[in-house]
Structure 1
Amino acid sequence: MLIFKSLSSKNYRFFFAGQAFSNLGNMMKQVAVGWLVYRITGSALLLGLVSFSREISAFLFSTVAGVLADRYNKHRLLMACQSIVAVNAAILALLTLFDWISFQALLVLEILFGLVSGLEMPSRHAFVNDLVEDKNYLTNAIALNSSLFNTARILGPALAGVLIPLIGEGYCFLIYALASFSVVAFFAGIDYRPDFEKNAGQAI
């Protein structure tokens, strides 16, 4: 089908699959975090504080993240960021499952998540351009990415709404951690060499 023509690129297929797990899990996790904050604090103000802290951290760090994306290997940068996200989610899951979670610990983990998200975002958007071999399909790849994100915004919260009453927030975080580790595995399958490495190899 022409709508999926950009998936003919192997590297973009791995990236798209990883993004599917990442976006869906992230949207599910955000709902579970909000539920958990309100359950342990009963405060709408603290619930807003957690969301604000996560988003402002991502916003502030993204102002310098674009420079890093231009200077360093975007593939390695994304792998590192996704690994940190996976470990962050695993810690959150364990603290919640063993009932060791506190508002302070949750706030710190969410701020760290925001910082990593801010670092990862410019690299992720720019990475699509490097992965699609046939540039005629680049617009299609960008459209698929947008559709994937919007689909996750619908399905992720709905999935969280079903799972939280059944298994609790901790297991939702555990699912997200496993999804994040799978993203690292998908990204590891990408065969990527940035232009500056290719040029260095040709010079040698």
Structure 2
Amino acid sequence: WFVLTTYHNAVYLGIVNFCRLVPILLLSVWAGAIADKYDKGRLLRITISSSFLVTAILCVLTYSFTAIPISVIIIYATLRGILSAVETPLRQAILPDLSDKISTTQAVSFHSFIINICRSIGPAIA
């Protein structure tokens, strides 16, 4: 939405989405192996904090300057793609550790339900 309304160029939108999704495609399996090998909680805190920091920097740039170069948006999308590629397997790998009272299957189902509800309601609220 931001790219399309700011730059009025569908090609830029495609490039930004490509840069966001390619790291997820290429790094998710590797990130899953990392999630199994190292402390999941610590890695999850690092990725969430990094995502916050990258997004906060983009917000500051957006409000500070009248025009942001598309290259900044592409770098942001790539960084968020890399962080998402690491964060998603971490979230799924940490569920069995958090769900003592219920089964892992129920925890995964509930997690997927919440994620999909947030994806549906979030844009409507915004």
Q: What's the TM-score once normalised by structure 2's chain length? A: 0.91
Q: Which amino acid aligns with 2:90?
A: S
Alignment gaps of 5+ in structure 1: 1-34, 161-204
Query: How far off its partner does 1:37 sit?
Result: 0.7
Q: 1:148 aligns with which of 104, 114, 118?
A: 114
8 Å contact kept, 1:40–1:103: no
Aligned residues: 125
Cα distance in 1 for residues equivalent to 2:11 and 2:107: 39
CA deviations on 1:129-177 (whole Å, 9 max, x unpaired) are 111113x4332222211111111121111122xxxxxxxxxxxxxxxxx
Alpha-carbon distance, 1:94 to partner? 0.5
Residue in structure 2 matching 1:106, options 41, 49, 73: 73
Q: Is the 8 A contact 2:47 2:83 kept in 1?
A: yes
Assess if the C-alpha contact under 8 Å between 2:36 and 2:93 holds in 1: no
Matched-pair identity in %: 35
Equivalent residue, structure 2, for 1:125:
92
1:50 CA drift (Å): 0.6
Question: How far is the alpha carbon of 1:39 from its aligned partner?
Answer: 2.3
Q: What displacement does 1:128 show?
A: 0.2
Distance in 1 (CA, whole Å) between partners of 2:2 and 2:105 is: 39
Is the Cα contact below 8 Å between 2:43 and 2:90 reproduced in 1?
Answer: yes
> In 2, Cα distance between the equivalents of 1:71 and 1:85?
22
Letter in 2 for 1:106: I
What is the match of residue 9 of structure 2?
43
- Specify the SS of the correspondent of 1:101: coil
Looking at structure 1, the residues matched to 29 and 103 of structure 2 have their Cα atoms a distance apart, in angstroms, of 29
TM-score (norm 1): 0.58
Higher relative contact order (CA 8 A, sep 6+): 1
Match of 2:24 among 58, 69, 82: 58
RMSD: 1.3
Structure 2 CA distance for aligned equivalents of residues 141 and 63 of structure 1: 21
> What is residue 80 of structure 1 aligned with on the other side?
46
Runs of 4+ in 1 over 3 A off after TM superposition: none
Amino acid in the other structure paired with 1:102:
P
